[in-house]
Amino acid sequence: MARVAKRVAKKRKATAKRPTAKRTATAAKTVDPAVTKAEAKLEKLQKDLAAHKKKVEDARKKAATAKAKAASTKRAAAKRSAKSATNAVTKANERAKAARSKVADARVELAKAKAMASARAAAQAAEAKVAELRERLSDRASKDLETAKQAFEQRWKKARAKADERKVKAAKKKAATKAKVAEKKAKTKVNQVERKASAKAKTKTRRKTSAKRTATRKSSATTTRKASPARKTSAKRVGRPRKKSS
């Protein structure tokens, strides 16, 4: 009996000294591929926009030089050169506007990608917490199991496994709720970004339409002023001749 007691005591000491497995560190945050792609696209478009801005500046300098030269001489070639340079400025401005529009669209896409990546990260974090809880419960169960008596080992394992599964299910439910909330927030943010972008686009369209109407009115007024002297002259010619005084 004494030998059996010594063996049980040694077994318990060995079990107590057994090192516990270290918890695995959480994986480093990885950059979402969609966000990386959107950022790369935005960076490229911003470079293109910078190049277009430089072209506009160069075109303006050339136009200013050509206008100054045309003003100092009466040559038709100089005037044509000035007009061509002015047209080049207009074209460069149009290309720059198109580049700005692309940059704005790319920023909207990036905001959407970041929102969705945030939702995915929240879901992954919730899953990691569930896994960590499962591991924690497993470690605790192993420690408690070592102290349990052998006679009740099987019943204890079943009861503990059921209890742990209930806890895991509850944690999963909680994690799913958090993930849904994060997804809802992400969708709300995406909708806000889209509404802002749509509002900006509508404002730009209204400004362009207003500018076109103003230009049309000015052009019509100029044409009317030019045509009015001819009408007055023709009116004088058509009238009845004056009677000669006797």
Question: Measuring CA to CA, which residue among 48, 58, 53 is closest to residue 85?
Answer: 58
pLDDT band at 149 (very low <50, low <70, confident <90, very high): low
Between residues 140 and 131, the one the model is more confident about: 131
Question: Measuring CA to CA, which residue among 215, 193, 217, 213 is closest to residue 205?
Answer: 213
Task: Please give the structure tokens belonging to residue 19.
Answer: 């090192």
In the predicted model, what is the mean pLDDT of residues 198-216?
82
pLDDT at 20 over 60: no
Between residues 230 and 116, the one the model is more confident about: 116
CA gap 35, 115 in Å, rounded: 9
Tell me if 111 sits within 8 A of 186, measured CB to CB. Answer: no
In the predicted model, what is the mean pLDDT of residues 163-189?
89
Task: Please give the structure tokens belonging to residue 129.
Answer: 């917490």
Q: Give how far the C-alpha of residue 213 lies from the chain's centroid of Cα atoms, to the nearest Å.
A: 34
C-alpha triplet 38, 41, 47: angle, nearest 5°: 140
What secondary structure letter does DSSP report for 19?
P
pLDDT score at 12: 52
For residue range 78-128, what is the model confidence (pLDDT) as tens digits? Answer: 778 878 878 888 888 888 888 888 889 989 988 988 899 888 889 989 999
In the predicted model, what is the mean pLDDT of residues 135-158?
78
Tell me if 112 sits within 8 A of 75, measured CB to CB. Answer: no
CA gap 226, 142 in Å, rounded: 100
> How large is the C-alpha radius of gyration of the chain?
41
In the predicted model, what is the mean pLDDT of residues 123-140?
90
Q: In this structure, how many other beta carbons lie within 10 angstroms of the beta carbon of residue 25?
A: 6
Q: Where are the domains of the chain?
A: 33-201
pLDDT band at 229 (very low <50, low <70, confident <90, very high): low
* Cα dihedral 90/96/100/103 (nearest 10): 160
123: Cβ contacts below 8 Å, ≥ 6 apart: 175, 179, 182, 183
